[in-house]
Amino acid sequence: MRALMHAVAVDAVPAPSPAPAQRLPLRQAMLEGPILPTMLRFAVPTIAVLIAQTLVGIAETFYVSFLGTEALAGVALVFPVLMLMQMMSNGGVGGGVASSIARAIGAGRRADADALLFHAMIIAIIAGLMFMAGALAFGPPLYRALGGRGAALDAAVLYSALIFVGAILIWLTNLASAALRGVGNVKAPAWIILAGSALTIPLSPAFIFGFGPFPRLEVAGAGVTILLYYLGSTIVLFFYLRSGYAGLNLRWARLEWRLLKDILRVGLLSALGTLQSNLTVVLVTGAVGAFGIEALAGYGTASRLDYVMIPLMFGLGTALVTMVGTNVGAGQLKRARRIAWTGAIFAALVLEAIGLFVAVLPQAWMGLFTNEPAVLATGALYLREVGPFYGFVGLGLLIYFASQGAGTILWPFLAGTLRLIIAAVIGWIAVTRFNVGLGVLFGLVAASSVAYAAICAAALIRSGWGKARA
């Protein structure tokens, strides 16, 4: 076991002086190495993990579909709440954890980095308990309000109870992974999660349908599989963080407000940012729903492309959190800004290329899912109007992640607020009060992306990173 942990972690522990032919140690690469190759070096494992998790989710949905429409609907009702928790723990509070540890490592405060890990675990336990209590108490009425009835509601309540009983495990896994990303160790959490995902795919049907020694649990089986996955991940991460090979050492530490504050001043605003994003999607979806089922299906199918790009953006973004945070901690503010601009422009170019492609050939995406003329028409309209502005989304999101790393998230958060107001609030009012068409609504979505990117870019140009705490 110790030999395996050492093999996984060898790239995460800075070496004193490598031979010229070797790659730079992670901390030295972040502080001195070429920016784009180093960023991709960090990003690729995280992107691979997110793709694997997406495939696991698709596989589980496929398995549950054999249990009937009610079971599938029940799982679908729980999915938005589960995704909200995942986004809050991974990109929200997790961003605060990675940022604080990266800045501590950059400043050479190794003891603080270890203490921050312990504080992150305390936050994970508290947040997990809050989500568990909230889901158990308010889950049933929420799923009923979302349209759950009869067997579908029963399936949702059962699945939700099993998932959120393990909320602490989900938070512990995600914040421990974020802490490792903060120290530059992206391979270990990637391998652990990939191994868990590989085990989940065969275990899920075994528990759902009952194979060999496994009982037939139906919808409960899907929940049990996820519970076991996060239990295993938490146990492996605990021993890894105690092994001495992780780049961080999980040990008991005295609780200090300055360390909690350092995590939460970034993490809380980032968590609220995830609420903004989800609320924007909900309100825009509701506005599109006023135009009928075909319009809703067309928008949902077209906007699914937005979610496909999330692994790429999150992978690049978490790399920027670590690199920017380390350089800010080390006092290399000009390099930190250069890293931020490099990542933001790279993401903008990649997303803009995708957006222009689907704007010119919307059928290349829509044709994968439907051949209904009314659905195709709405989806094509969305891609033609919003696709050319995907680059602005990429620019703004990567500056948001870079600002997490620097510990100054306020202006990107305000930019997200403006995006919510333009796309969702004004869009909703325009549709429900002034009876505008879908073209105007999608135009507002595009305009909100431009406004979001403009404020984020202006904040980076005038950034006060020199005053950011290391």
| 409-461: pLDDT as tens digits | 899 999 999 999 999 999 999 998 999 999 999 999 999 999 999 999 999 99
Is the per-residue pLDDT at 20 higher than 60? no
The region that residue 251 occupies, defined by phi over 0 for left and psi between -120 and 50 for alpha, beta otherwise, is beta
Residues 327, 296: Cα–Cα separation, whole Å: 45
Amino acid at 111: A
pLDDT at 16 over 50: no
C-alpha 89/C-alpha 84 separation (Å) is: 9
| Interatomic CA distance for residues 289 and 80, integer angstroms | 18
Per the document, the length of the chain is 470
CA 462 to chain centre: 27
3-class secondary-structure state, position 55: helix
Cβ(446)–Cβ(386) under 8 Å?
A: yes
Phi (first) and psi of residue 317, to 5 degrees: -65, -45
CB 59 within 8 A of CB 204: yes
Which of 62-66, 94-98, 465-469 is predicted with the least confidence, judged by mean pLDDT?
465-469
The pLDDT of residue 464 is: 63
Could you tell me what percent of the chain has a pLDDT over 70?
Answer: 93
Tell me, rounded to whole angstroms, the distance of Cα 113 from its chain centroid.
23
Select from 339, 327, 328 the least CA-distant residue to 464.
Answer: 328
Q: Which tens digits make up the pLDDT trace of 146-202?
A: 778 888 899 999 999 999 999 999 999 999 999 999 998 888 888 888 888 888 888
Chain segment 362-396, per-residue pLDDT in tens: 999 998 878 889 889 999 999 999 999 999 999 99
From CA 117, how far away is CA 259, in angstroms rounded? 10
How many CB atoms neighbour CB 359 within 10 A? 18
24 or 38, which is more confident: 38
pLDDT above 80 (res 137): yes
- CA 75, distance to chain mean position in Å, is 20
Retrieve residue 232's tokens: 């295993």
Residues 396, 458: contact at Cβ < 8 Å? no
Q: How many CA atoms lie within 13 A of 420 on its CB side?
A: 16
pLDDT of 465 reads 67
Q: Model confidence at 80, in pLDDT bands (50, 70, 90)?
A: confident
Q: Provide the CA 111 distance to its chain's centre, in angstroms.
A: 28
Q: How many CB atoms lie within 10 A of CB 325?
A: 32
Supply angle C-alpha 67, 55, 282, rounded to 5.
Answer: 80
Q: Where are the beta strands (DSSP E) in 41-131?
A: none
Of 398, 399, 329, the residue nearest 101 (C-alpha): 329
Tokens 């972040």 -> residue? 30
**C-alpha to C-alpha distances, 78 to 74, 109, 212, 229, 423, nearest whole angstrom:** 7, 41, 29, 18, 25
Question: For position 64, what pLDDT does the model report?
Answer: 85
pLDDT band at 1 (very low <50, low <70, confident <90, very high): very low
Determine the Cα–Cα distance for residues 383 and 395; give it in Å rounded to an integer: 19
Of the pLDDT bands very low, low, confident and very high (cuts 50, 70, 90), residue 466 is low
